[in-house]
């Protein structure tokens, strides 16, 4: 199929429908509103359900209802809306319901502003909701990945019966790039555990209640085992890391900027590489540990005051230096400033192998 110039926000919707998603429930919030608008246009014509809910709270509980009914279901929002959705995220995970939440991060805290940030990494990868659960989290860095990872998100959600986030930021949502939908459209399939208003599904119960402590402990252990199994889904991109003394670590739009910085730093003779986590949960910890044997310093760059850097430190566990560079408030770090920052660290710390 030919390439099509698409906004990230529209690619998500087309990707979702091709993945067999037939239920979209949402509430407007910049910079995710275009997803809602595209869904309002495309879902009904493809035989899907679209509804603008009265709040993010209602929207995500509608997703809960749709998922309980066996539909591939989704919503999209941004930080303030995800805060409101946190309640249901816990119920979704507890009741083992698959669904996809697209989160286009904006700058916070509070109302903050609508410019891009990556400061909801903790909120999303550490859940926000109550109880022992995880959400799987995918981090697209291009419009093509907005489409591809949305599709993957539905597959993972079904495979693990768990909510999956597609975590991007306003930039990737607003950006246009060529997209190619390589996978054919998938027919919706109703899983056997869902409620359906039929004799065959009458026995089905969707619930997150386990009243007896022993029962709940078993349930939590089952969820944990599932998350351990999901470690095999880890995905990341390495760029020029083989002989790198300095490895930049960043996800989403930042990784695109870092890739540019890597080339510029290489041109200056500094052996630099990039590790881009594509899955944030599961996190590429094993890869970071492996790389730590030869890398002098990991420089984590985020549009936040430093959140993913915690996961890098946990993974590296002291085996190499880990430093952080962040921008916030809606500012993107430019490749030139990253380059200058790394050059400064190299001068100061003597990071490069002789």
Partner 1 sequence: MPEKELCITHEKPLAFFPHFERKGEGEDQTHYCPGCGHGIVHKLLAETIDELGIQDRTILISPVGCSVFAYYYFDTGNVQAAHGRAPAVATAVKRAHPNSIVISYQGDGDLAAIGAAEILHCANRNENVTVLFVNNTIYGMTGGQMAPTSLPGQKTTTSPGGRDPGRDGYPMRVSELLATLESPAFIERASLGNVKTILQAKKAIRRAIECQMEGKGFSMVELLSPCPTIWKLDPVAAQKRVHDEMERYFEPGIKCDRRASRPEPREAAPPPPLADFSRLLNLPDDNGRTAPAHAHDAERLDWRIRIAGFGGQGVLLLGQLLAEAAMDDGLEVSWLPSYGPEMRSGTSNCHVRISSHPIDSPLVTRANALLALNEPSLRKFLDTVEPGGLVLYNGDHLPDDCRRDNVSVYALPFAEIANQLGSAKVGNMVMLGAFLALSHFLPDERMEAALARLVSSERWVEIDKKALAVGRERVPAEEFRHA
Quick one: which segment of 44-52, 155-163, 241-249, 286-294 binds partner 1 (CB under 8 A)? Answer: 44-52
**By C-beta, is 184 or 213 nearer to partner 1?**
184
Site residues for partner 1, window 125-154 (CB under 8 A)?
Answer: none
**By C-beta, is 204 or 294 nearer to partner 1?**
204
- Residue 233 has, within 13 A of its CA and on its CB side, a CA count of 23
| Candidate list 83, 131, 206, 266; residue touching partner 1; CB under 8 A | 206
Asked whether 223 and 93 are in contact (CB, 8 A), the reply is yes
| Candidate list 83, 132, 204, 285; residue touching partner 1; CB under 8 A | 204
Q: How far is the CB of 187 from partner 1 (least distance, A)?
A: 6
**Integer CA distances (angstroms), 231 to 12, 89, 211, in order:** 24, 20, 29
Quick one: which segment of 149-157, 204-212, 293-301, 306-314 binds partner 1 (CB under 8 A)? Answer: 204-212
What is the Cα Rg of the chain in Å? 21
Asked whether 77 and 118 are in contact (CB, 8 A), the reply is no
**By C-beta, is 158 or 177 nearer to partner 1?**
177
| Candidate list 114, 319, 341, 352; residue touching partner 1; CB under 8 A | 114
Question: Pairing relation of β-strands 113-116 and 99-107?
Answer: antiparallel
Nearest to 216 by CA among 133, 281, 159: 133
Interaction mask 18-37, partner 1, x per CB under 8 A? x---xx-x----xx------
How many other CB atoms sit within 10 Å of the CB of residue 150? 29
Question: Pairing relation of β-strands 113-116 and 49-52?
Answer: unpaired
Q: How far is the CB of 333 from partner 1 (least distance, A)?
A: 9
Q: How far is the CB of 232 from partner 1 (least distance, A)?
A: 28
Tokens found for residue 239: 């760029």
- Site size for partner 1, by CB under 8 A? 79
Site residues for partner 1, window 223-262 (CB under 8 A)?
Answer: 253, 256-257, 259-260
DSSP letter assigned to residue 68: H
Q: How far is the CB of 282 from partner 1 (least distance, A)?
A: 26
Q: How far is the CB of 174 from partner 1 (least distance, A)?
A: 5
**By C-beta, is 118 or 171 nearer to partner 1?**
171
Torsion of CA 181, 187, 191, 197, to 10 degrees: 130
Quick one: which segment of 149-157, 170-178, 278-286, 317-325 binds partner 1 (CB under 8 A)? Answer: 170-178
* Residue 196 binds to partner 1 (criterion: CB under 8 A): yes
- Residue 9 has, within 13 A of its CA and on its CB side, a CA count of 25
Q: Residue 112 region, left (φ>0) first, then alpha (ψ -120 to 50), else beta? A: left
Site residues for partner 1, window 264-323 (CB under 8 A)?
Answer: none
* Residue 208 binds to partner 1 (criterion: CB under 8 A): yes
| Candidate list 73, 76, 223, 230; residue touching partner 1; CB under 8 A | 73
Residues 6+ apart with CB under 8 A from 131: 90, 93, 94
Nearest to 313 by CA among 279, 283, 339: 283
């Amino acid at each position: 199929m030919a390439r099509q110039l698409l906004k990230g926000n529209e690619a998500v919707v087309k990707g979702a429908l091709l993945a067999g998603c037939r239920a979209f429930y949402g509430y407007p919030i910049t910079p995710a509103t275009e997803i809602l608008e595209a869904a309002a246009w495309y879902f009904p014509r493809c035989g899907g359900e679209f509804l603008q809910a009265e709040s993010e709270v209602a929207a995500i509980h509608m997703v809960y209802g749709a998922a309980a009914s066996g539909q591939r279901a989704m919503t999209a929002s941004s930080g303030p809306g995800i805060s409101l959705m946190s309640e249901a995220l816990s119920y979704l995970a507890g009741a083992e319901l698959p669904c996809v939440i697209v989160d286009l991060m904006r700058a916070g805290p509070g109302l903050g502003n609508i410019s891009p940030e990556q400061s909801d990494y903790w909120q999303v990868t550490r859940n926000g909701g109550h109880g022992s659960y995880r959400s799987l989290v995918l981090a697209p860095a291009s419009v093509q990945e907005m489409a591809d990872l949305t599709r993957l998100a539905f597959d993972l959600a079904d495979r693990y019966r768990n909510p999956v986030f597609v975590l991007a930021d306003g930039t990737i949502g607003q950006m246009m790039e060529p997209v190619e939908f390589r996978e054919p459209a998938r027919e919706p399939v109703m899983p056997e555990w869902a409620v359906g208003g039929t004799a065959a599904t009458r026995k089905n119960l969707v619930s997150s209640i386990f009243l007896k402590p022993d029962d709940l402990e078993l349930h939590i252990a089952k969820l944990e085992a599932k998350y351990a199994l999901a470690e095999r889904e880890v995905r990341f991109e390495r760029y020029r890391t083989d002989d790198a003394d300095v490895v930049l670590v960043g996800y989403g739009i930042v990784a695109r900027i870092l890739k540019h910085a890597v080339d510029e730093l290489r041109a200056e003779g500094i052996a630099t590489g990039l590790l881009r986590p594509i899955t944030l949960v599961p996190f590429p910890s094993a890869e970071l540990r492996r790389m730590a044997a030869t890398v002098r310093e990991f420089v984590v760059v985020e549009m936040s005051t430093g959140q993913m850097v915690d996961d890098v430190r946990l993974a590296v566990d002291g085996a190499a230096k880990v430093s952080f560079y962040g921008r916030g408030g809606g500012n993107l770090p430019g490749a030139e400033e990253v380059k200058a920052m790394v050059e400064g660290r190299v001068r100061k710390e003597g990071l490069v192998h002789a």
